[in-house]
């Protein structure tokens, strides 16, 4: 324990020399090496072993108090949004599951709570459910953010929705809330939800039996025929039973290529970096 503490202090001192005394107060309140590394390197979280991450439940499912936290190998809480590294190497990315396939509870990262746990969304104090099951694992790309102050000239000038980028994972296995999977992006859908741009990155888990067969948008249609249309139609129509209009899609109402999906991921990662550096006001978002 003394060795770890000494190493942590040495790292903090080195960072202070580089960044200036004005950041001392930020360094002293960072409780773990994981969080220090994230604040220092932004997209580098080498001290966090994603294989050791485990979901930890608090409260009972389908209640207002229910939360799913991520904890590291030492049992310490980490943020699924800020602390899980985006990149897993060789064009592979980490994906945090919020909603398992064939379920309807609208689970999402609580972006305004410390450690950003996963909780069930609410409306007027009531738990929210989709009108029907979602047919794919659904969740977020960590260390991404759709900037609500930035208009996208390629997608009808729509502004970001102030959330991490969403992932629709099309593999056969039903994942669990809080699972961290390695995925490769295949396509991107530019959903416009009440005027806000809400990207859907279509991806597949590396452990899926068909993962080696699909590497771009055309492969999805070949090996998962009808899936891209089904995803688009599901997200287009899911609010209609609540009396709301159908969602729209930019980019010609078609899924964009893997190359475009990678562009979206890169741009939203850069937006996240600006957010956690506080170059953009965070508002009610938690950066802890």
Residues labelled catalytic: 130
Q: Which residues contact 148 (CB under 8 A, 6 or more apart)?
A: 159, 160, 161, 162, 196
- Report how far apart, in Å, the C-alpha atoms of 282 and of each of 24, 202, 271 are: 20, 28, 11
Among residues 239, 227, 171, 167, which one has the least CA distance to residue 199? 167
Check: CB of residue 252 under 8 Å from CB of residue 183: no
What does the alpha-carbon distance between residue 220 and residue 228 come to, in Å, rounded to a whole number? 7
What does the alpha-carbon distance between residue 201 and residue 40 come to, in Å, rounded to a whole number? 28
Which tokens hold the place of 80? Answer: 């699924």
Phi, psi of 63 (to 5 degrees): -130, 165
Check: CB of residue 185 under 8 Å from CB of residue 165: no
What does the alpha-carbon distance between residue 35 and residue 128 come to, in Å, rounded to a whole number? 31
Check: CB of residue 185 under 8 Å from CB of residue 202: yes
Check: CB of residue 182 under 8 Å from CB of residue 93: yes
């Amino acid at each position: 324990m003394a060795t770890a503490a000494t190493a942590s202090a040495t790292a903090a001192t080195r960072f202070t020399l580089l960044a200036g005394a004005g950041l001392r107060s930020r360094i002293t309140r960072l409780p773990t090496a994981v969080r220090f590394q994230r604040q220092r390197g932004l997209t580098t979280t080498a001290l966090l072993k994603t294989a050791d991450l485990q979901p930890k439940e608090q409260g009972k499912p389908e209640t207002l108090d229910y939360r799913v936290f991520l904890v590291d190998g030492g049992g310490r809480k980490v943020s699924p949004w800020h602390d899980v590294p985006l990149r897993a190497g060789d064009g592979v990315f980490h994906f945090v599951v919020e909603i398992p396939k064939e379920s309807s509870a609208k689970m999402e990262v609580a972006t305004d709570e410390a450690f950003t746990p996963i909780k069930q969304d609410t409306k007027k104090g009531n738990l929210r459910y989709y009108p029907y099951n979602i047919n794919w694992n659904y969740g977020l790309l960590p260390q991404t953010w759709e900037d609500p102050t930035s208009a996208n000239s390629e997608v009808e000038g729509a502004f970001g929705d102030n959330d991490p980028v969403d992932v629709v994972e099309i593999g056969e296995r039903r994942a669990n809330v809080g699972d961290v999977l390695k995925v490769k992006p295949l396509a991107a859908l530019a959903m416009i939800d009440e005027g806000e741009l809400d990207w859907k990155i279509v991806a597949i888990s590396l452990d899926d039996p068909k993962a080696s067969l699909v590497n771009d948008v055309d492969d999805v249609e070949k090996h998962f025929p009808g899936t891209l249309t089904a995803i688009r139609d599901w997200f287009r129509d899911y609010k209609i039973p609540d009396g709301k209009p159908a969602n729209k899609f930019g980019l010609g109402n078609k899924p964009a290529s893997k190359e475009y999906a990678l562009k979206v991921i890169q741009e939203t990662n850069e937006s996240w970096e600006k957010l956690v550096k506080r170059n953009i006001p965070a508002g009610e978002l938690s950066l802890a």
